[in-house]
A = this chain, B = another copy of it.
């Protein structure tokens, strides 16, 4: 049982929510797959290995809960399903420390990109508009090295 799991239990109790196996297991799967972008179905399949009686609806309800507790981020990679990724808050770091996503239009693979430049843009928005920024999501679409090379090789033929 990891420290994160203890922290999660504490958060649940503080919110008057119940600690259940299903909730612990969903969080555990997300933690073990940190940095991946998992659909509800992905999580469901992995939890089922240790806990076959879990239902898909519970996974949906649990990720919704984790989202509200701000323990996971929701990402949409435009492939028709919503994806979830564990956040950094649970590790004790203060403040959100998001990364951006680079999505290859050819093969669909996704890379992460760390950057702080948006803090600047967020404070600019706060100054210029009446909008209070809490969070952001930034995706770059383009082409990865492999696909660029493959396509230029195909052209040369």
Contacts and interface: CB of A to CB of B under 8 A. Distances in A.
Contacts of A129: 102, 111, 113
Q: How large is the interface on A (under 10, 10 to 19, 20 to 34, 35 or more residues)?
A: 20 to 34
A122 interface: yes
B125 A135 contact: no
Copies in the complex: 2
Given A74-B78, A78-B74, A136 B141 contact: yes
A140 B135 contact: yes
Nearest to A82: B78
A137 interface: yes
Contact of A134 (B121, B134, B141): B141
A32 interface: no
